Amino acid sequence: MIDFTDRVAFITGGASGAGFGQATVFGRAGARIAIADVRRDSLDDAVARLREAGIDAWGVPLDVTDRNAYARAADDVEDHFGDPVTLLFNTAGVNGFGSIETMTYADFDWMLGVNFGGVVNGMVTFVPRMIAAGRGGHVTSVASVGGFEGGRMVGPYSAAKAAVISLMESYAQALPEHGIGVTVLCPASIRSGIAEAHETRPETGAESGVLVDDGFVASLREVYSHGMDPEHLAMHLKRAIEAGELYAIPYPEVREQLERTFGNILDAVPDIDEIAPHGAQQRLEALEAFRAGSRRRVEAETRVP
């Protein structure tokens, strides 16, 4: 079981919502907390609240889509705490609702840029540093239940979250050998300010299919007001990390939905005796041979002389 005491945690989107809940829960568990957020006023307020709770906290202004800024933020955090980051939480996220056929290039660039690109930037920035530090640790990325199934009104968002899930599954095959655990958190509704996510969107002047009228935003606020408390969500995440679990999905109400979704996928796969059984076996053997060869190559390249 991982001990969070004195570890340095880097949490994107940490000034509010799920990120602030994580900062609170893992800070109380003894971690030193660096929260990153694009909203400077909210960042300063969040740091003050964490410090009032007795948590060693520090704030870093950061647009997670800016790779150069991300590298500078990583350096600044290491300099401030005098230790490497060994707990990474890719939590920053945005959403924009609108029927998929009205979504524009700008809408896709924004939502995929933050929700998936921001996670990529976090992983590529910190994972090599964590491996080099040799202290183990844990990486968590926030995806969504929506990443398991597309939806007409959340097309770009669901696509980005599906990519996050797949990305973390890939890292989960590589990082444990370095002593680094991997968890992907897939929430449903969270009590947060994501209904106003469009307010952090850069002004580009481009056309958009995202609905931002007052009536629609008010209805979203009502939906999210009934979401899970961010601290409770973070406590579920902490338990999953301590248990070494890849998936954290603490929403029993989505079980039927997921069973239906994955049932439909499995129903599309025929039994081996229905379609060219000999060809299927040959394909399977070729794939296993490729995987075995790939594993041997990786082991040879990473073997310490």
Q: Which residues are catalytic?
A: 157
CA distance 115 to 120: 9
Residue identified by tokens 């001990």 is 3
CA distance 191 to 7: 27
